[in-house]
Amino acid sequence: MIRQRFVQSLRLGLVRFMTRTAFMQQVIVTFPKRKAQPDDKPQKDPWHFWVFILSANVSANGESNHTYLALNEDIKINRVTLSSKLNFDAYYNTTRNRYNVNEQTIDVKNIEFGLSTLYVRSLSEHWSVGGFYKGYHSIYQNMAFSQSVSPALEYNLYPNSEVTRRQFRWIYQLGVRSLSYIDSTVYNMTGIFALTEPWGSLNASLAGYQFLHDLSKTRLTFQMIVSWRLLEGLMLQLNGGLSLINNQISLAKEVGDPNQFLLGGRQLPTRFNYYSSVGLSFTFGSVNNAAVNPRFTNVDF
């Protein structure tokens, strides 16, 4: 047995030298037929693609004149297949900042809770249809409660079977948003371009929002993500985005306590916002991936 393995290793080692000779035309590579093993059969999924994520965390930090406490709870339910996608997310977040300044105690408490749902169904290799629901409460945004329902239609210039390599998706969204102060209709259109090549990937999106009851209330947002492959598994990531804002309809009329703004408890009016980041990521592990379904991603609703 040892002698046979030695001879086999010697034969394999000589193959690289035979490629430079005429004998290579006489070489035939064959593999023995392998019978299917019981482990080769697809495993039965008792959950039928359903994934449940329950999370909660408490964070705290402080110093002699400042304490911070945050409690975050979240429930996610997802079901993603090649033909459909369902995402559900419900959350409850509480943050509290306490400052002692000039023998005066200042408390800023912020509570946010809400839920969102997305469902999308594939109609063909290029067309998809679905909708969004979102409801939330936010002291920071001066929102007692907001609800929105938005059906949407998506067209991908490239077949969805090629989404791991390239995609150019156009999403048309029309819905109704109910606020504590206004009942209005909101219009949203998003264009998304994505490309994956051996050097890495590029994702870019341009989204426009407009209230139909007041066409002057608009928002235009551009985002881009570039991932550059440095080594196997090591990526350089460049992110950036810019928004031109003219639709902050939930701002409070009264300025109120300035400390709420200075300590991050209330939202300030603005005409734009931007962000940028650069970083490295390293990926390793199993080569098996879950179903890929990018439909209706990168959409604000």
Nearest to 136 by CA among 118, 165, 113, 153: 113
Mean pLDDT across 273-286: 75
Q: Which domains does the chain have, with CATH numbers?
A: 2-282 (2.40.160)
pLDDT of residue 119: 93
Helix (H) / strand (E) element for 205: namely strand 200-211
Residue pair 224/192 in contact (Cβ under 8 Å)? The answer is no
Average pLDDT, the chain: 78
Place 196 in a pLDDT band, splitting at 50, 70 and 90.
low
φ and ψ of 68, to 5 deg: -135, 135
Phi, psi of 72 (to 5 degrees): -125, 130
> pLDDT tens across 7-52, in order?
777 777 777 777 777 767 777 767 677 665 555 566 778 888 889 9
What average pLDDT score do residues 230-240 get? 83
pLDDT at residue number 52:
92
At 93 the pLDDT is 93
User: Among 54-58, 149-153, 265-269, whose mean pLDDT is lowest?
Assistant: 265-269
pLDDT at 116: 94
Dump pLDDT digits (tens) for 99-154.
887 788 888 888 899 999 999 999 998 999 999 999 998 877 777 888 888 888 89
Confidence (pLDDT) at 235: 82
Q: What is the pTM of this model?
A: 0.58
